[in-house]
Homo-oligomer: A and B are copies of this chain.
Amino acid sequence: MRDQATQESRFQFTKLEDGFEITLRGDVLLRHTSAQPLLFAGYGEETMEMYRGNFDIRDYVIERIALRYAETEVTEQSIRITFSNVKNGEPYITLEVKQGLRDLQIDFIQANAALNRLWFRLQADAEEKVYGCGEQMSHLNLRGKNFPLWTSEPGVGRNKKTYVTWQADVIDKAGGDYYTTNYPEPTFVSSRKYMCHVETTAYADFDFRQPQYHELQMWEVPSSIVIETAESFLELTSRISDRFGRQPELPDWTYNGIWLGIQGGTAVVEKKLEHVLSKGLKVGGVWCQDWQGKRITSFGKRLMWNWRWNPQEYPGLDRKMQEWKQQGIRFLGYINPYVAVEGDLFQTAKTNGYLALTEQGEVYLVDFGEFYCGVVDFTNPEANEWYKGVIKENLIGFGLDGWMADFGEYLPIDLVLHNRKPAKLMHNAWPVLWAKVNYEAVEESGKLGEVVYFMRAGYSGIQQYCTLLWAGDQSVDWSLDDGLASVIPAALSSGLLGNGLHHSDIGGYTSLHGNKRSKELFMRWAEMCAFTPVMRTHEGNRPYDCWQFDSDDETLEHLVRMTDIYAALSPYTRELVRINAEQGIPVQRPLFMHYEHDIRSYDIQYQYMYGPDLLVAPVYQENQSAWSVYLPKDEWVHLWTGESYPGGGEVEVAAPLGCPPVFYRKSSSYAELFRSAAGIQG
């Protein structure tokens, strides 16, 4: 890498008459003057109401003080800056800034203890684009909006202008908005080739609406803010991954075929498997959420939430699993960080004090909609060990090769934890604690890279502890904010922050307020997922309202073909997954990551690079026979027709069902593989 030779920091500190500035490659990144201060600090009183993982959060800012005056003290190791609201006034905040070659470490080493609001500004230019902030499902480029960062249900509809959202809001306070996500993160990537990360778990709100600056709001004085730069986006992503950790490779068996989401017991699974195998479907796994039992609520089918094999529901599963394994089909289950009051695990946890408490010292029960659960307290090391044990014994020990590690984003803000930290500060930390329990259980069982679990909730650090993201609960529709389309920016934004492995429920999940999954939606979703690291179906919350993989022959045949293509591509995909594990470069990538000089590529959010050599532009609207695709300048070959395109603009290609717009780079060393994968069509 070029810059290691230069040995000169990309960042430059300069004292000004009335403040200071820090440049990045000569352009101002941080600037402080008394007229335009770097920091604002203050006090606020928030109201936060949670309703089944959906939050209504309001802030009353009592004071927002411009810290106009800064005293700087420059030593060889660092720059120490003390801020006050008046000249020679009482110090509010002291920072220590350390410049590395390509990073800037800003530590908040002292702060007025009462402060509970901080605003930090970075200088921006009007053309700059911004990405990341976790897994963002409505926007890839975040410029022009603000992004509250608080892990929660993503919402049903996620757009205040859709009728589904309105109904979800009115009936369940559950409509969500463009920023609601299971996985927020106070980390963003700028098109100026830097990333900025705030070390905090407090509620935050990153505001990218101003043309001249970005303003990061945190509901505490954070411990530090880090800014890193690199010479390319590939390198930058890799460095982000250095910081937050990498995923292991996916197990080999992943590539055997699709993971089928089936429920209903051993006989149902067996019958469905038999049927699809007879049709030639390549199956890598069966994923049975209800392996531990289920219940029916008004929302739809729900699970029992007592984490062990349920032999009534799945008789003979222990032997069956081994049989399936022989056929190359693994069995995946389900777990989450709650234990239902009816189960024996709840009793054990309660007896041993493993559950979070109310302020009155009772076990805190969370209402999940017609049933109640205790919250395993991951700040209690003993509870942690116990729950790891549950995973090791009841899941891995029983023979599961994977599971959905659901939830993590619901931690109520009024419970009392073992570590006595305020729940409001632990809420965002929770997904990572939950991921870590899974990770350590797998690691300590020596199964990393063999067992895989997938999560929707996340926060800073999830990169290391989650083996695979899934995009959460999309609506079973074509909506941009909550349907098929939304999983594309989700993969790209989380990928940029070092979550290289992403996938989604084929066909989406949430069927409410009249929303029913159509055949066409299922088929379009399936064909997109052939170009993601994992293909997996889900029955949806209301299976009988949702088109399924076996609802008719045409659907199944389509799925067979797309899974064949997925399997045929596996040498390429495997290599991408390996690179992710080694270098932290995601499998699905925004176009600008490979086409930095192509200004238009920075705003393309519904197409992606699948590794360096494939460009995928999923059809995300219904009734389409052709589709318009943006191609950066390169030598492109249309996967299905072999036609060449020079790129540098939009092209329209035929896009019947089964032929999602995909292009490969002519010079790719995998060109032959791509051609042969596509040839399966004929």
A residues sitting closer than 8 Å to B (CB atoms) are 40, 42, 61-66, 85-86, 89, 161, 163, 166, 169-170
Contacts and interface: CB of A to CB of B under 8 A. Distances in A.
B61 A61 contact: yes
A65 B65 CA distance: 6
Contact of A64 (B64, B161, B163, B169): B64
Contacts of A161: 169-170
- Copies of this chain present: 2
Contacts of A62: 40, 64, 66
A177 to B, nearest CB: 13
12 contacts: A40-B63, A42-B64, A61-B61, A62-B64, A63-B64, A63-B65, A63-B66, A65-B65, A85-B85, A86-B86, A161-B169, A166-B166
Contacts of A85: 65, 85-86
Nearest to A58: B209
Nearest to A119: B62
A453 to B, nearest CB: 39
A85 B66 CA distance: 12
A343 to B, nearest CB: 37
Given A63-B66, A161-B170, 16 more contacts: A40-B62, A40-B63, A42-B64, A61-B61, A61-B64, A62-B66, A63-B64, A64-B64, A65-B85, A85-B85, A85-B86, A86-B86, A86-B89, A161-B169, A163-B166, A166-B166
Contacts of A86: 85-86, 89
The 4 closest A-B pairs by CB, nearest first: A64-B64, A166-B166, A63-B66, A161-B170
Nearest to A209: B60
A126 B319 CA distance: 67
A163 B163 CA distance: 9
Nearest to A215: B60
A66 B64 CA distance: 9
Which of A42, A65, A166 has the most CB atoms of chain B within a 10 A radius of its CB?
A166
Q: Which of A63, A65, A66, A85 has the most CB of B within 10 A?
A: A63
A59 to B, nearest CB: 11
A669 to B, nearest CB: 51
A325 to B, nearest CB: 52
A66 B41 CA distance: 12
Nearest to A47: B209
Residue from A61, A64, A66, A89 having most chain B Cβ neighbours under 10 A: A64
A42 B85 CA distance: 13
A650 B163 CA distance: 40
A44 to B, nearest CB: 10
Contacts of A169: 161
Contacts of A66: 62-63
Contacts of A163: 166
A627 B42 CA distance: 52
A170 B161 CA distance: 6
A170 B89 CA distance: 50
Nearest to A165: B166
Nearest to A43: B66
A179 to B, nearest CB: 16
Contacts of A40: 62-63
A86 B66 CA distance: 13
A623 to B, nearest CB: 23
A243 B64 CA distance: 36
Nearest to A42: B64
A97 B63 CA distance: 25
A66 B115 CA distance: 14
Contacts of A42: 64
A574 to B, nearest CB: 47
A450 B390 CA distance: 87
A89 B161 CA distance: 49
A158 to B, nearest CB: 15
Contacts of A170: 161
Nearest to A207: B60
Nearest to A65: B65
